[in-house]
Amino acid sequence: MGKSNGSMSQLTVKRGEPGLVSLAEDTEKGLYFLSNLDQNIAVIVWTIYCFKSEEKGNESAAQVIKDALRKVLSHYYPLSGRLAISSEGKLIVDCTGEGAVFVEAEANCKMEEIGDITKPDPETLGKLVYDIPGAKSILEMPLLVAQVTKFQCGGFVLGLCTILKARSPLEIEFLHWEFAEIEDKSSTDELYRDEMLYRSFCFEPETLEKLKKDAMENGVLEKCTTPKFNPPLPKGYFGNGIVLTNSICKAGELSEKPLSHAVGLIQDAIKMVTDDYMRLAIDYFELTRARPSLSSTLLITTWSRLSFHTTDFGWGEPVLSGPVALPEKEVILFLSHGKERKSINVLLGLPASAMKVFQEQMKI
* Mean pLDDT of the residues in the chain: 81
Whether the per-residue pLDDT at 285 is higher than 50: the answer is yes
pLDDT at 187: 38
pLDDT at 16: 97
How far apart, in whole angstroms, are the C-alpha atoms of residue 163 and residue 185?
Answer: 10
* Mean pLDDT to the nearest integer, 314-326: 86
**Residue that wins the pLDDT comparison between 356 and 168:** 356
Whether the per-residue pLDDT at 183 is higher than 50: the answer is no
Specify the amino acid at residue 37: L
pLDDT at 208: 86
Whether the per-residue pLDDT at 159 is higher than 90: the answer is yes
Beta-sheet pairing, 82-85 with 19-21: unpaired
- pLDDT tens per residue, range 336-350: 876 677 788 888 888
Q: In what order do the strands lie in the sheet with 91-95?
A: 30-33, 91-95, 82-85
pLDDT at 3: 38
Q: In what order do the strands lie in the sheet with 196-203?
A: 196-203, 343-351, 331-337, 299-302
* Mean pLDDT to the nearest integer, 306-316: 79
- pLDDT tens per residue, range 243-268: 888 888 898 998 899 999 999 999 99
**Residue that wins the pLDDT comparison between 273 and 177:** 273
* Residue whose C-alpha is closest to residue 318's, from 307, 326, 310: 310
Q: Is 301 exposed, middle or buried (0-12, 13-18, 19+ CB in 10 A)?
A: middle
- Domains in the chain, ordered, with CATH? 1-364 (3.30.559.10)
pTM: 0.83
pLDDT at 2: 35
Q: State what percent of residues in the chain have pLDDT above 90.
A: 30
pLDDT at 195: 60
User: pLDDT class for 73, splitting at 50, 70, 90?
Assistant: confident
**Residue 45 contacts residue 61 (beta carbons within 8 Å):** no
Q: Is 50 exposed, middle or buried (0-12, 13-18, 19+ CB in 10 A)?
A: buried
Whether the per-residue pLDDT at 233 is higher than 90: the answer is no
Eight-state DSSP code of residue 339: T
* Mean pLDDT to the nearest integer, 14-19: 97
pLDDT at 164: 56
- pLDDT tens per residue, range 99-155: 999 999 999 999 988 877 777 678 888 999 999 988 888 888 999 999 999 999 999
Lowest mean pLDDT among 52-66, 111-125, 176-190: 176-190
pLDDT at 10: 78
* Residue whose C-alpha is closest to residue 78's, from 41, 134, 126, 35: 35
